[in-house]
Structure 1
Amino acid sequence: MTSSVASPDAPGATPPTERRSGRVIVATLGLCGIVVALMQTLVVPVIPELPHLLSTTPSDASWAVTATLLAAAVVTPISGRLGDMYGKKRILIASLLLVVVGSVVCAFANSLIPLVVGRALQGAAVGVIPLGISILRDELEPKKVAGAMAVVSATLGVGGAVGFPVAAAVAEVADWHVLFWMAAGLGLVCTVIAVRVIPESPVRNPGRFDAVGAVGLSAALVLLLLPITKGGTWGWSDPLTLGLLAASAVVFLAWGVLQLRTSRPLVDLRVSARPHVLFTNLASIAIGFSMYGNSLTLPQLLMAPESTGYGLGLSMVATGLTLAPGGLVMMALSPVSAKISAWRGPRFTLMVGAVVVAAGYTFVYFFSSTVWQIMIGSMIIGAGVGLSYSAMPALIIGAVPLSETAAANGLNALMRSIGTSTAAAVVSVVLAGMTVTLGTATIPSLDAFRATFVIAVVAAVVSLVFAALIPSPKRRARS
């Protein structure tokens, strides 16, 4: 496969002396990442009320979350490839506009279908984060790239953690549509700033877009993630669930064969099969699983009634405030993770992150009887996720051609999405299968919560194993 790459010193490229301040670029991309990540948790506070608000069933109302996950998974790798081909800034701006349009659609929605459409558009903007990481590689001095990538990577957790209490507070004092007007305003602000601040990358990989590959990947991902996210509702042994999973395997196989035979594929599977890239992506799935277990389990434990003997009876706003420091720790550790990577390499940072995540879940397994204990456990988990997330882009960009940075980072983001979607399915099954009855309500038991902590520890250990299999710099040099 050939590519056309413009050097930063080539004619038409932006001279280093004319480039905008690196700090301004990092701050802008960090803000964009936080706003895009906020979309993931925006509707969580109003999910219990959506069936009444939209005159629909709880099962159908869950599409407000499912649509966002599916759209993010499908569009992220595609936006990465488009960024490599047509300009990363151009696709980043288009993604931010999707936030604005999707939020406005949701703000006017009073029925299920418009809300689902708007939420899908919001989810399609998640590609902003891998695109931003790729822009950093193109625009910053090499010695500053690692720290900047750590900051932008951390925004995924920060946006989700901060968005939860903010959305809950807004939903308590205002009409739920205000949430989406707020999101539209934030998206518009980010778009305007990005247009003015972010330079267009001189690095391109022009050619014909692999539309067939994009359709094939989209179909395969929908067939995979739809039964994963809805299996708890449909039933895991239901023919529809099993049929979609089987169809996904067939489509993925056919898509892979087609990609290997395509001169300019959507995803270069030969590059993706390199041990450095392959094991990083596999570790990303496991870390994504562990991260989302924290987002699903700890809020329910904090809000469970005190009469259970293990619940803490917090409101949704108080729950969000309790867990918000976990996301802030991710951002605060960005400089630390960059220094660890500079000292021992991003592979070592990823391994340390996996160990810290496992330690956090082990802590809450034994200590979860008070609010402060859960807050500490959440912060430990957030620290581990922050270390891991900051290391992954560094591992990826160190193993792929410069002209494929955005596509490779998009694929890595997809791996994390698969991990979070799988976690949602597994954790939901465990919490629904181990319950206690309290009056007329059925809630997860303490054993159910502890079981999810054990599963998350196992996922973190799996990530540690995959990280250990990533070739070290010395092994790669010998190869």
Structure 2
Amino acid sequence: MAILLAAVAASSGITVIYTVLVTLYKAFPASDSVSWTVTAYWLGSAGFAAVSGRLGDLLGYRRILLLVMTIASAGAVVAACATDVAMLIAGCAMQSVAAGITPLSIGLVRENLPPGRVPAAVGVISAAGMVSAGLIYICAGVVVDRYSWQGGFWFKVALCLVAVAAVRLWTPPSPKRLSARIDYLRGLAFAPALCAILFAVQQSRVWGLGDARLWGLIGVGIVVLVLWARHQHEAAHPLINVRLLKARQIVLANACMAFVAAGGMQLGQVFSLLAQQPAGTHTGFGLSATAAGLLMFSVNIVSLVASPWSGRVAARYQARSAALIGMAILVVAWASLIVLHRRLPLFVPGAALCSFGLAFASTALYNQIVEAAPAHQTGEATGMLYVFFSCFFAVGAQAVFSLLRSASAKYDGGWFAADSGYVSVFAYIACSSIAGLLIAYTLPKRRAQL
């Protein structure tokens, strides 16, 4: 129960920010920096996931999980009390530490459960995150509508505090494994390098692909990452063990996650836009924000079946088999939407199938990492998987935006994607899923080590 509540707290991170975003634009009409609340969260999450997971390996998963949720709660307090946009952005950046909750939770599960029950438990964690995100979207929306945008952040504070209390009461302490002096300063150098690259990707549609700032930031970020990787590879006691990341099974799992993040993970953005786009554009269903939220919840709820089922397949056979099933479902589901997206009764089951495949595949990839990584490096390995997710999610979001903008038309004073734009997006995500399926096929054919 404690781990499930921690998963709820993790899913509240970006969900609450998305929920209050429109209201924030109204609350701070003189500022054009409100969108930085989302950007700051994603930039921070790319680094915090790996660092939190690694610190959990070294200092104990329970101890770091409590610290992470406390910092996330403090960030929500800062955001709720914000009197200007700068303070609001700072609060959202603090909340991004919640990205470390998932790898820490998986580490706790592996530490306290028999090996045969770990894959199914990872599936339950994944399902709890996806379903609770839909519930939080609705609940936070009600709080914001009835009270204020600050109420959305106070709602998150309450969720984090309940999770902290549950972990303290019901989770046994983790052993402290730190036995050597670690160079934290140089070990953390990857975080600002990743932020520079992700920031450049986020700004690409504003600056343009020919802007020197874009390629300058990307170039500097890559150079720092190369130097950092070399140092960590040669260090006797590295903060991030890059040698672990060279293992074939882990490399392939991360590569598969990259295509899932750039493709199938974009379903929230794509489906929300399609659901709320005015029907007068002859594309979209013209739903209200509340109706769209209920639609997303009904789509996400299939993960209650998909994620645990994926875990059982991984436990009985191997995570590779579950990954192949999940990726195959994603290919079929997104390809089918090329035709099914024009009518709501046909779109809903197609969208649910996309969510089912996503939950099945993402759970399988986490279990793939758990199979390959030593038990005492679970947090580090799953945290780095989240880093790959964050980086390629940002790339995929820009690709989706560009495809939608490439075929758009003006309607009622605004610009909306044409039908051909959505068709291009569905085809792009189906192709990304095919690439992920091919990578999953190359995973080692061996049974999970139970």
TM-score of the aligned structures, taking structure 2 as reference length: 0.95
2:270: which partner in 1?
Answer: 297
Amino acid at match of 2:316: W
Mapping for residues 6-405 of structure 1, pairs under 5 Å: 27-58=1-32, 60-202=33-175, 204-405=177-378
Q: Cα–Cα, structure 1 residues 351 and 235, in superposed 2: closer, same or farther, change >3 Å?
A: same
TM-align CA RMSD: 1.9
Q: Which runs of 5+ in 2 are unaligned?
A: none
Superimposed CA distance per residue, residues 38-81 of structure 1 (whole angstroms, 9 cap, x where no aligned partner) = 221212233234333124444x2111101111111111101111
Q: Cα–Cα, structure 1 residues 413 and 475, in superposed 2: closer, same or farther, change >3 Å?
A: closer
**Structure 1 residue 342 displacement after superposition:** 2.8
Mapping for residues 399-418 of structure 1, pairs under 5 Å: 399-418=372-391
**Structure 1 residue 33 displacement after superposition:** 1.1
Q: Cα–Cα, structure 1 residues 69 and 411, in superposed 2: closer, same or farther, change >3 Å?
A: same
CA distance in 2, matches of 1:317, 1:132: 31
Amino acid at match of 1:120: A
Q: Cα–Cα, structure 1 residues 108 and 203, in superposed 2: closer, same or farther, change >3 Å?
A: closer
Q: Cα–Cα, structure 1 residues 400 and 197, in superposed 2: closer, same or farther, change >3 Å?
A: same
Indicate the larger mover: 431-440 or 91-100.
Answer: 431-440
**Structure 1 residue 203 displacement after superposition:** 6.7
**Structure 1 residue 390 displacement after superposition:** 1.5
CA distance in 2, matches of 1:373, 1:206: 57
**Structure 1 residue 474 displacement after superposition:** 6.9
CA distance in 2, matches of 1:190, 1:278: 33
**Structure 1 vs Structure 2: percent identity of aligned residues?**
24
Determine if contact 2:123/2:309 at 8 Å carries over to the other structure.
no
Superimposed CA distance per residue, residues 299-344 of structure 1 (whole angstroms, 9 cap, x where no aligned partner) = 1111111111122111111001011122221122233112222333
Indicate the larger mover: 280-289 or 229-238.
Answer: 229-238
CA distance in 2, matches of 1:209, 1:197: 31
CA distance in 2, matches of 1:169, 1:448: 32
**Structure 1 residue 475 displacement after superposition:** 12
Determine if contact 1:154/1:389 at 8 Å carries over to the other structure.
no
CA distance in 2, matches of 1:31, 1:435: 42
The runs of at least 4 aligned residues of structure 1 exceeding 6 Å deviation read none
Amino acid at match of 2:122: M
The 3-state SS of whatever aligns with 1:442 is strand
Superimposed CA distance per residue, residues 367-414 of structure 1 (whole angstroms, 9 cap, x where no aligned partner) = 112333332222111111111122122211221222211111111121
CA distance in 2, matches of 1:50, 1:319: 19
Determine if contact 1:36/1:159 at 8 Å carries over to the other structure.
no
CA distance in 2, matches of 1:102, 1:61: 16
Determine if contact 1:213/1:265 at 8 Å carries over to the other structure.
no
The 3-state SS of whatever aligns with 2:238 is coil
The 3-state SS of whatever aligns with 2:188 is helix
CA distance in 1, matches of 2:19, 2:115: 41
Determine if contact 2:5/2:162 at 8 Å carries over to the other structure.
no
Q: Which runs of 5+ in 1 are unaligned?
A: 1-26
**Structure 1 residue 223 displacement after superposition:** 1.2
Superimposed CA distance per residue, residues 428-454 of structure 1 (whole angstroms, 9 cap, x where no aligned partner) = 222223210113211111111111111
Superimposed CA distance per residue, residues 133-176 of structure 1 (whole angstroms, 9 cap, x where no aligned partner) = 01111101122111111111233323333333333333333211
Indicate the larger mover: 69-78 or 230-239.
Answer: 230-239
Corresponding pairs, count: 449
Indicate the larger mover: 361-370 or 61-70.
Answer: 361-370
1:16: which partner in 2?
Answer: none
Indicate the larger mover: 315-324 or 213-222.
Answer: 213-222
Determine if contact 2:328/2:437 at 8 Å carries over to the other structure.
yes
CA distance in 2, matches of 1:422, 1:160: 22
The 3-state SS of whatever aligns with 2:104 is helix
2:407: which partner in 1?
Answer: 434
CA distance in 1, matches of 2:332, 2:130: 18
2:440: which partner in 1?
Answer: 467
Q: Cα–Cα, structure 1 residues 465 and 203, in superposed 2: closer, same or farther, change >3 Å?
A: farther
Determine if contact 1:292/1:424 at 8 Å carries over to the other structure.
no
Amino acid at match of 1:437: K
The 3-state SS of whatever aligns with 1:209 is coil
The 3-state SS of whatever aligns with 2:62 is helix
**Structure 1 residue 205 displacement after superposition:** 4.6
CA distance in 1, matches of 2:263, 2:439: 14
Amino acid at match of 1:151: V
Q: Cα–Cα, structure 1 residues 475 and 330, in superposed 2: closer, same or farther, change >3 Å?
A: closer
Q: Cα–Cα, structure 1 residues 50 and 233, in superposed 2: closer, same or farther, change >3 Å?
A: farther
Determine if contact 1:36/1:99 at 8 Å carries over to the other structure.
no
Determine if contact 1:41/1:163 at 8 Å carries over to the other structure.
yes
CA distance in 2, matches of 1:427, 1:206: 46
